[in-house]
Structure 1
Amino acid sequence: MLASSLSLLLAAAAAAADLSAWRWRQDFPVTGGAQTVVALDGPVYDGAKEDLSDLRVFGPGGEEIPYALEADVSRIEDARVPARILNLVRLPDGATRFELDLGEHPAPHSYLFLDISPENRNYRAAVTLEAAHPDGGWAVLKDGINILDFSQDFHLRYSELYYPESDFRRLRVTLREKDGAPMKVDGAWVRRHAHRPGMELMTTFTTAKSSSATSEIRDLDFGYDKTPVHRVAFSVSTPEFKRRVVVSVPGPDGTWRSVGESVIYRYASGRFSGSNLVASFPEVRARRLRVEVFHYDDRPLAVKSITAFGYVRRLCLKDPKPDAYVLRYGNPAAAAPRYDLAALSAYLDKSAAAESKLGERREDSAYRAPSRPWNEEHPWALRAALAAALLGLAAIVLRQWRSIAL
């Protein structure tokens, strides 16, 4: 009995010692259900390790709760499907038509890229995509889409289209140029190309504005270190423009280093109308972001606002009991936990998962700051030891000098 009680006390003491290494905590409620998801926020990114490996969830009884960390980022699934061009002809009305043979039992496909000859410039061509029906005849897969080339002040070419995922063997493409000019097709590629958009969170920030002779600069401060961000969107009142945008973050030495470049524009001409008001770049984890818009010899853009977006990271709990839970983090020595739920999470239906929200960050009462090395805790002792050694050395030298003098 005594040994058993002692073991329990030692286990409790070990658990308390473990908790003392985690500096921060944020409470969150769980209302029940098959799954609960909790989105991470700025304080977590700021106080946790860069890779988030020190996150730990504890239940109402102090027990460690398994979780799956999900990074809901954008991704592209892409695979080429072999295709052969057949029966390339020009129709009586001037349209260009050809067929694509994808072979027996083709893989699913949903994307068509057309390699239009560089000889064709400044065009807008309507595309009709059809599939050979097994029972005969042609069924429309996509209609009313345009491919285009704009080659004046700047060059823009768009010659691809998406269509519903299919496994038809034969496709037929018809191109009708607006002005009736013949379209020269050098090739075509069919792919399974699926873009899975990630879940984004709009990130708040404060702005400091400055300028140079050729650009306007906006320094965004998100308030927390290691905040994820991967794109900025502009609201601009200038009617027509084309501007280079450079996005930078502070380097280790404090200087700004570029993480991406983009072009934002808006045109409304007879040949081309379109706009792009988003600058995307590989995701960075930073507190500060610099957005520089170059106007060179033009007037600066009339930017009404800028919005920043980052991908969401969430914790997923399976079958949690309704109660108050705690997220702890801020332990630089912690290794990533290994839970079965990390592998199982991909197969769970989270469409009806309950969502919870983290409370305010506060320092955990169990936290104990790691002690510094003895010499850092007692710097005076090292100085005293050095002084004593110097005095001893001086005494020896003086004694030797006197013996020589005698």
Structure 2
Amino acid sequence: MRSQRKTSRRARAAVLLVVLGGLLLFTSAYPAQGTASASAGLAEKADSGQWKFSRAIGIPEPAPYYEVYLDEGVYGSAAEDLRDLRITGSTGEPVPYYLESGEGTVEERSTAYSSILIRRADQGTDTLLDYRITPLAEHVDIQGNKLVFELPDESFLKHVEVWGGYDGNAWEPLATGDLYATNGLSADSIELEGSYKFSFYRLVVKSNPEGLNFPGLTLVDSSREVKMAGFMRQKTPQYEISQVENRTEIVISNKDRLKIARLTLGSTGNFSRRYELYDSDGIRLPVAGSGELYRLDFKDSRISRTDIQPLQASSSGALRIIIYNLDDTPISITGLKIEYLVDRLVFAGGEQEQGPYSLIYGNALAHAPQYDIINFKDQIAGDKRVTATLGAENMIPEAPSESPAQSGWFQSEWGFNLIIIVVSLLLILIVARKLGRTK
């Protein structure tokens, strides 16, 4: 009987010894696996990395909402997709915002009105043409900011004046410009400085002894250019010009990855050349217009088109213009300017004001934030928004890395494993001693 009890104790002790040994081996093979997995999950949800730059946001007056436009400094140092932008309040807490892009915000809205030529008269050598605009519906206002004329079939170049009126009797001067069709080049429209509600328009063709006629007029109302103006900026970029065989190549540097919407060449002399536009990867970019650059001086006038407008703004690190000269001498280029689109951030003020505010950026490891404020964008668009300004860029000091002594050796993975191993060895030693006594 006593022998059976000893045998039973030895068996239980041996099983316990095997279990403890297995626990020791499992802990060594899979150290703190649950803790590591939980930490990894939190790391995936939270931003990591260090923000490098800070800009104070100047608030001119209290308002329910503020808007602040980004600039070259932000584009040059922030992540390319702007995912690392953060607005912070006085205590460093994040302030919700949403981003508005120049291209994404401006909707393409274009309305066209036909017209009837109601009067033609000669005034000395000038010709007067009066048009009555046809409304889209009864009791609906007419509104437009661009006039497109039907041109004569022959080649010509005419200086013109445009006047507007409500009743066809009293007229107000609106714009001057040139209409022409020569050497395969043409201009058939006059841009107005604003959007007008005139029902009648007068075209004065200056010095028109040959009696050229412009039988048709279309009034266009386009909101795109007017709204885009708030997002548009201009600068002179760095560029290099080289002559390769019968081509002129211009490479424009865009290291800050600005969203270039237009390029304008300064030039002298007469020319008419075909051109192409490429990005830094060698992909050809589609452009507005006929793909020609020209500048033609006549006796008393000059017609020119020396701007290049991509159909979509490009943020490529470099743009390359290729001008085909054929057997002509290269164009004399005197300068180059670009127009680029910026973005703006909209954030709440008023009762929620937490200023002074700062904009921080420059963290490649940050994730794009998701704030509820984007769901109220349409309502915010109707509220008063005050434009804030960005201050000078400041470097954010790097946070000192946490040393093992500060965090405690027992909180680290190797410390946790060491404790498990020591406890396991002690238990094994105790069991072994008890097993030895039972023999």
Normalization by structure 2: what TM-score?
0.64
Of 140, 148, 157, 2:179 maps to 148
Name the amino acid aligned to 2:346: C
Aligned equivalent of 2:219? 190
CA contact (8 A) 2:58 2:391 kept: no
Identity of aligned residues (%): 15
Deviation at 1:280, TM superposition (A): 1.7
Shift of 1:81: 2.9
TM-superposed CA distance for 1:231, in Å, is 1.9
Task: Select 2:110's aligned residue among 65, 69, 78.
Answer: 78
The correspondence of residues 164-175 of structure 1 with structure 2, limited to 5 A, is 165-169=195-199, 171=200, 173-175=202-204
2:83–2:366 Cα contact (<8 Å) kept? no
Q: 2:242 aligns with which of 210, 235, 255?
A: 210
CA separation in 2, counterparts of 1:271 and 1:204?
30
User: How far 1:90 moved relative to its partner?
Assistant: 5.1
Q: Indicate whether 1:232 and 2:259 are aligned.
A: no
1:325 equivalenced with 2:354 (yes/no)? no
Partner of 1:397: none
Structure-2 residue corresponding to 1:4: none
Computing the radius of gyration over CA atoms, which structure comes out larger, 1 or 2?
A: 2
Structure 2 match to 1:122: 156
Q: Which residue is equivalent to 2:209?
A: 180
Task: Give the structure 1 partner of residue 323 of structure 2.
Answer: 293
Q: SS at 1:231's partner residue?
A: strand
Contact 1:108 1:165 in 2 (8 A): no
Indicate yes or no: 2:390 matched with 1:356: yes
The answer on 1:28 being equivalent to 2:63 is no
Q: Is 2:88–2:357's contact at 8 Å kept on the other side of the alignment?
A: no
SS, match of residue 339 in structure 1: helix
Task: Go from structure 1 to structure 2 and tell me whether the alpha carbon gap of 1:202 and 1:116 turns closer, same or farther (over 3 Å shift).
Answer: closer
Q: Does 1:113 align with 2:148?
A: yes
The answer to whether the 8 A contact 1:49-1:331 is kept is no
User: CA separation in 2, counterparts of 1:347 and 1:314?
Assistant: 16
The 3 A distance-change label for structure 1 pair 16 and 78 is same
Q: Structure 1 residues 198, 280: CA separation in 2 closer, same or farther (over 3 Å shift)?
A: farther
> What is the DSSP-based 3-state SS (H/G/I as helix, E as strand, rest coil) of the residue aligned with 1:223?
coil
What does residue range 363-378 of structure 1 map to in structure 2 within 5 Å?
A: 365=399
Counterpart contact for 2:85–2:359, Cα < 8 Å: no
> Which amino acid in structure 1 is aligned with residue 209 of structure 2?
G
The structure-2 alpha-carbon separation of the partners of 1:108 and 1:361, relative to structure 1 and needing over 3 Å to count, comes to farther
Deviation at 1:66, TM superposition (A): 1.4
Indicate which of 250, 253, 274 corresponds to 2:303: 274
Q: Secondary structure at the match of 1:299?
A: coil
For each residue in 1:148-190, what CA deviation from the matched residue of structure 2 results, as whole angstroms up to 9, or x when unmatched? 22424x4223344537644454x25354452322333443222
How far the C-alpha of 1:279 sits from its partner, in A, is 1.7
Q: Is the Cα–Cα contact under 8 Å of residues 150 and 272 in structure 1 kept in the other structure?
A: no
Residue correspondences, number: 342
Contact 1:214 1:295 in 2 (8 A): yes
Instruction: Tell me how far apart the structure 2 counterparts of residues 99 and 204 of structure 1 sit (CA, whole Å).
Output: 42
SS at the partner of 1:357? strand
For the residues of structure 2 that align with 1:290 and 1:180, how far apart are their CA atoms?
45
Aligned with 2:381: secondary structure?
helix
Matching of residue 48 in structure 1 with residue 75 in structure 2: no
2:112 is paired with a residue whose SS is: strand
User: Alpha carbons of 1:271 and 1:199: their partners in 2 closer, same or farther (altered >3 Å)?
Assistant: same
Question: For 1:72 and 1:316, how far apart are their aligned partners in 2?
Answer: 13
Distance 1:366 1:18 in 2: 23
Return the letter of the residue paired with 1:151.
T
**Cα shift readout 1:114-156 (whole Å, capped 9, x = no counterpart):** 21332x43141644535353xxx7111336735522424x422
Q: Give the Cα–Cα distance (whole angstroms) in 1 for the partners of residues 73 and 80 of structure 2.
A: 13
1:143, 1:302 → 2: CA distance?
Answer: 34
Instruction: Give the CA deviation at 1:219.
Output: 2.2
User: CA separation in 1, counterparts of 2:176 and 2:218?
Assistant: 17
SS at 2:251's partner residue?
Answer: strand
CA distance in 1, matches of 2:72, 2:86: 15
Rounded Cα–Cα distance in structure 2 between residues aligned with 1:200 and 1:287: 19
Stretches of structure 2 lacking an aligned partner (at least 5 in a row): 1-40, 403-439
One-letter identity of the residue aligned with 1:121: S
CA contact (8 A) 2:117 2:215 kept: no
Q: Which has the higher helix share?
A: 2
Alpha-carbon distance in 1 for matches of 2:45, 2:90: 17
Preserved contact between residue 276 and residue 284 of structure 2 (Cα < 8 Å)? no
User: Is structure 2 residue 248 aligned with structure 1 residue 219?
Assistant: no
Aligned partners of 2:254 and 2:315 also within 8 Å: no
Letter in 2 for 1:246: E
- CA shift for structure 1 position 250: 2.5
With over 3 angstroms needed to count, the CA separation of the structure-2 counterparts of 1:336 and 1:108, relative to structure 1, is: farther
The change in CA–CA distance for 1:260 and 1:361 in structure 2 (over 3 A counts) is farther
**1:284 Cα deviation after fit:** 0.8
Distance in 2 (CA, whole Å) between partners of 1:290 and 1:235 is 16
Name the SS of the counterpart of 2:261 in structure 1.
strand
Cα offsets for 1:203-251 (capped at 9, x unmatched): 5754444331111223233334x43212222233x33223333221133
Q: Secondary structure, in 3 states, of the residue corresponding to 1:61?
A: coil
Distance change >3 Å, CA 308–CA 199, structure 1 → 2:
same
2:276 matched to 1:249?
A: no
